[in-house]
A and B are shown apart, each in its own frame.
Chain A
Amino acid sequence: MRPAGTLVSMNASDAELARRIAASAPGAASDAEAELYARLAPRVRLYGLRHLRDAHAAADLTQQVLLMTIERLRDGKINAPDRLGSYVLGMCRMVVLDIQRGGRRRERLLREFAGDVPLAASAPEPRVDTDRLDDCLARLAARERTVVVLSFHSERSALDVGQELGLTAANVRVIRHRALTRLRACLEGEEAKP
Chain B
Amino acid sequence: MNAAVCTTPLDLPVLLDYWLGDLAPDAADAIEEHLMSCAPCADELSGLVALGAGIRRLADAGRIWMVVPGAFLQRLIEEGLRVRQYRLVPGGSVECTVSANDDVVAARFSADMRGITRAHLVKVDANGREAHRIEDIPLTESTDEVVVIERTDRVRALPAGVERVRLVTPDAAGERLLGEYTFVHTPSS
Binding site for B on A (CB under 8 A): 10-14, 39-40, 42-44, 46-47, 49-50, 84-86, 88-89, 92, 125-128, 130, 133-134, 137-138, 141-143, 145-159, 163-166, 169, 173, 176-177, 180-181, 183-184, 187
Q: How far is the CA of A43 from the CA of B4 in the complex (A)?
A: 13
Which of B48-56, B170-178, B181-189 forms contacts with chain A?
B48-56
Q: Which A residue's beta carbon lies closest to that of B21? A: A157
Scan B128-150; emit 1 where CB is below 8 A from any A CB, else 0: 00000011111111000000000
A173 to chain B: closest CB distance in Å? 7
Which A residues lie within 8 Å of B8 (CB)?
none
Q: Which A residue's beta carbon lies closest to that of B121? A: A142
Say whether A152 contacts B137, CB under 8 Å.
Answer: no
Interface residues on B, range: 35 or more
Partner of A149, one of B47, B59, B141: B59
Which B residues lie within 8 Å of A89 (CB)?
32-33, 36
B99 at the interface (CB under 8 A from A): no
Can you list 23 pairs linking A and B with CB atoms under 8 Å apart?
A: A13-B3, A40-B36, A42-B42, A46-B35, A46-B45, A49-B49, A84-B37, A85-B36, A86-B36, A127-B50, A130-B57, A137-B58, A142-B136, A143-B137, A149-B59, A150-B72, A152-B52, A164-B71, A164-B140, A166-B141, A176-B20, A177-B16, A180-B16
B159 at the interface (CB under 8 A from A): no
Number of inter-chain CB pairs below 8 Å: 161
- Known contacts being A143-B136, A143-B137, is A152 close to B37, with CB within 8 Å? no
Say whether B35 contacts A137, CB under 8 Å.
Answer: no
Which A residues lie within 8 Å of B48 (CB)?
180
Q: How far is the CA of A76 from the CA of B169 in the complex (A)?
A: 70
- Known contacts being A43-B39, A152-B52, A164-B71, is A133 close to B58, with CB within 8 Å? yes
Say whether A165 contacts B141, CB under 8 Å.
Answer: yes
Q: How far is the CA of A57 from the CA of B20 in the complex (A)?
A: 19
- Interface set, chain B 36-91, CB cutoff 8 A to A: 36-39, 42-43, 45-59, 63-69, 71-72, 75
Say whether A42 contacts B68, CB under 8 Å.
Answer: no
Which B residues lie within 8 Å of A138 (CB)?
65
Apart from A142-B136, A164-B71, what are 5 other A-B pairs with CB-CB below 8 Å?
Answer: A44-B36, A130-B54, A141-B136, A153-B72, A184-B51
Q: How far is the CA of A128 from the CA of B47 in the complex (A)?
A: 8
A194 to chain B: closest CB distance in Å? 11
Say whether A145 contacts B66, CB under 8 Å.
Answer: yes
Q: How far is the CA of A7 from the CA of B58 in the complex (A)?
A: 43
Partner of B1, one of A11, A13, A152, A180: A13
B106 to chain A: closest CB distance in Å? 13
A20 to chain B: closest CB distance in Å? 14
Which A residues lie within 8 Å of B35 (CB)?
43, 46-47
Q: Which B residue's beta carbon lies closest to that of A49? A: B49
A159 to chain B: closest CB distance in Å? 7
Say whether B64 contacts A137, CB under 8 Å.
Answer: yes
Which A residues lie within 8 Å of B135 (CB)?
141-142
A137 to chain B: closest CB distance in Å? 6
Which B residues lie within 8 Å of A141 (CB)?
135-136
Which A residues lie within 8 Å of B75 (CB)?
153-154
Say whether B33 contacts A85, CB under 8 Å.
Answer: yes
Q: Which B residue's beta carbon lies closest to that of A159? A: B22
Say whether B20 contacts A156, CB under 8 Å.
Answer: yes
Partner of A43, one of B22, B42, B67, B71: B42
| Closest 10 pairs (CB-CB, A-B) | A85-B37, A152-B52, A85-B36, A128-B54, A164-B69, A143-B138, A126-B50, A146-B138, A157-B21, A43-B42
